[in-house]
Amino acid sequence: MKNISILGSTGSIGTQCLDVIRENRESFRVCALTCGQNLALFRDQLAEFSPGLAVCRSRKDAETLGAEFPDIRFASGLKGICEAASYFDADMVVNALSGMMGIAPTMDAIKAGKDIAFANKETLVAAGEQIMDAVADAGVAFLPVDSEHSAIFQCVQASPGAEIKRIILTGSGGPFRGFTKEQLGSVTVEQALCHPKWSMGKKITIDSATLMNKGLEMIEAYFLFGAGESDIEVVIHPQSVLHSAVEFSDGSVIGQMAEPDMKLPIAYALSWPERLRGVSKSLDLLGAGRLDFEKPDEDLFPCLSLARTALREGQACRIAMNAANEEAVWAFLAGRVGFTDIPAIIERCMDMFCGETVTGIEDVYALEARTRAYAKELAEAL
């Protein structure tokens, strides 16, 4: 029996993680849960799974739910999330948080010796050096949950110790594949949230529409698998059947294929090195009919090029890109900026902060805060 602490249990990854646990109660037990604002769903999760620790964003919410569930201990805020990340009873922590707020809980989980199922790409993009050094020092398992990185991980597992020549990172192309520059200039929030293949949270769905998600995943792959920027190729694959592939030194390419279903990589991270039965329906290749692959248009979707630049230029540039993207995406979702303003804000912030010096986690937090403030100013001026 593996005890699981889930950071962000009411989000898309968190709810699907609980689906996997619900279907495999003989293998997993929930020991801690954290939520943001969806108290109605969180209340249902607490009633069903009865964790030892529950964390709400606000103290008021924690007090309200604490009165309803006297047998559960409640905490609140980032301090509470960090407590759930290092919870004494947890064997594994699922980091399903959104954004750079995942840095501190991730570090606390590592220091507490917890294995981590990781779906919080922004944390690794901004603080990859510090996170991976801590993982190496602690000797914990750091298992990717993103479908693309889970695919790469599974391919590498098939040839342990083999030299990787190239990582092929696939993406659907998002809802605006084939659009013109003029069409992109007038897209709505509702259009951008209609992903053609995946059901995800709002922030990652917008990142998929701008192709920033592929850029973030490229940087993730750099840290997770030790591949150089020039060894990571992004390929548009609209059917989303091949979730990514690895080319080895002998020229062989091994890919991982499955139906688009996030429960599959979640289950593999939870159960690794074993596999659970019946997680996803079988892939019907005859039904798929054909598999197409295209080069991404980085002129129309400059976020991918910005991510490549950030990876080359170093940590300060990645932090600036990451924080600016978060602010620009939220501004777009709020209707304050247009879709094509997102990469413009990111580029301005990268120009402003890429020369900064970053030596530790405190520098990461400081530069993140300055970038966010500047990005908000830019968004307000548009």
pLDDT band at 195 (very low <50, low <70, confident <90, very high): confident
Full DSSP string of 3-29? EEEEESTTSHHHHHHHHHHHTTTTTEE
Does residue 98 belong to any structural domain of this protein?
yes
pLDDT band at 196 (very low <50, low <70, confident <90, very high): confident
pLDDT at 198 over 80: no
Spatial distance between the Cα atoms of 102 and 245, rounded to a whole number of angstroms: 27
Does residue 301 belong to any structural domain of this protein?
no
Determine the pLDDT at residue 32. 98
Does residue 300 belong to any structural domain of this protein?
no
Considering the domain architecture, whether residues 33 and 127 belong to the same structural domain is answered as yes
pLDDT tens-digit map of 94-133: 999 988 889 999 999 999 999 999 999 889 999 999 999 9
Could you give the angle at the alpha carbon of 41 between the alpha carbons of 37 and 62, nearest 5°? 50
pLDDT tens-digit map of 135-188: 999 999 999 999 999 999 999 998 888 999 999 999 999 899 999 999 999 999
Considering the domain architecture, whether residues 113 and 161 belong to the same structural domain is answered as no
Considering the domain architecture, whether residues 13 and 117 belong to the same structural domain is answered as yes
Domain boundary among 109, 124, 144: 144
Determine the pLDDT at residue 294. 96
181-185 long-range Cβ contacts below 8 angstroms, 24+ apart: 181/300, 181/340, 184/300, 184/339, 184/340, 185/338, 185/339, 185/340
Domain boundary among 253, 288, 323: 288
Considering the domain architecture, whether residues 281 and 340 belong to the same structural domain is answered as no
Does residue 295 belong to any structural domain of this protein?
no
HEC string of 250-261 equals CCCEEEEECCCC
What's the first-to-final CA gap in the chain, in angstroms? 53
Does residue 245 belong to any structural domain of this protein?
yes
Determine the pLDDT at residue 88. 96
Determine the pLDDT at residue 288. 86
Decide: residue 298, CB within 10 A, 0-12 exposed, 13-18 middle, 19+ buried. Answer: middle
Contacts of 206 (CB under 8 A, 6+ apart): 192, 193, 329, 332, 333, 342
Determine the pLDDT at residue 100. 84
CATH number at residue 367: 1.10.1740.10
Spatial distance between the Cα atoms of 72 and 303, rounded to a whole number of angstroms: 43
Considering the domain architecture, whether residues 235 and 181 belong to the same structural domain is answered as yes
pLDDT tens-digit map of 239-258: 999 999 999 999 999 999 99
Considering the domain architecture, whether residues 255 and 178 belong to the same structural domain is answered as yes
Does residue 204 belong to any structural domain of this protein?
yes
**pTM as predicted:** 0.93
Domain boundary among 84, 112, 144: 144
Q: How many domains does the chain have?
A: 3
Does residue 297 belong to any structural domain of this protein?
no
CATH number at residue 139: 3.40.50.720
Considering the domain architecture, whether residues 48 and 101 belong to the same structural domain is answered as yes
Strand intervals (E) in the chain: 2-7, 28-34, 53-56, 73-76, 92-95, 115-118, 142-144, 164-171, 232-236, 242-248, 253-257
pLDDT band at 336 (very low <50, low <70, confident <90, very high): very high
pLDDT at 89 over 90: yes
Q: Within 10 A of 39 (CB to CB), how many other CB atoms are there?
A: 17
pLDDT tens-digit map of 274-323: 999 999 999 999 988 899 999 999 999 999 999 999 999 999 999 999 99
Mean pLDDT of the chain: 95
Spatial distance between the Cα atoms of 354 and 371, rounded to a whole number of angstroms: 10
pLDDT band at 189 (very low <50, low <70, confident <90, very high): very high
**Cβ(103)–Cβ(123) below 8 Å:** yes
Q: Within 10 A of 219 (CB to CB), how many other CB atoms are there?
A: 24
Considering the domain architecture, whether residues 154 and 134 belong to the same structural domain is answered as no
Structural domain span for residue 374:
314-381
- The residue-averaged pLDDT of 315-338 equals 97
**12's tokens:** 């898309």
Does residue 21 belong to any structural domain of this protein?
yes
Considering the domain architecture, whether residues 97 and 78 belong to the same structural domain is answered as yes
Considering the domain architecture, whether residues 84 and 201 belong to the same structural domain is answered as no
Considering the domain architecture, whether residues 136 and 178 belong to the same structural domain is answered as no
Decide: residue 231, CB within 10 A, 0-12 exposed, 13-18 middle, 19+ buried. Answer: middle
Determine the pLDDT at residue 122. 87
- The residue-averaged pLDDT of 81-93 equals 98
Considering the domain architecture, whether residues 131 and 159 belong to the same structural domain is answered as no
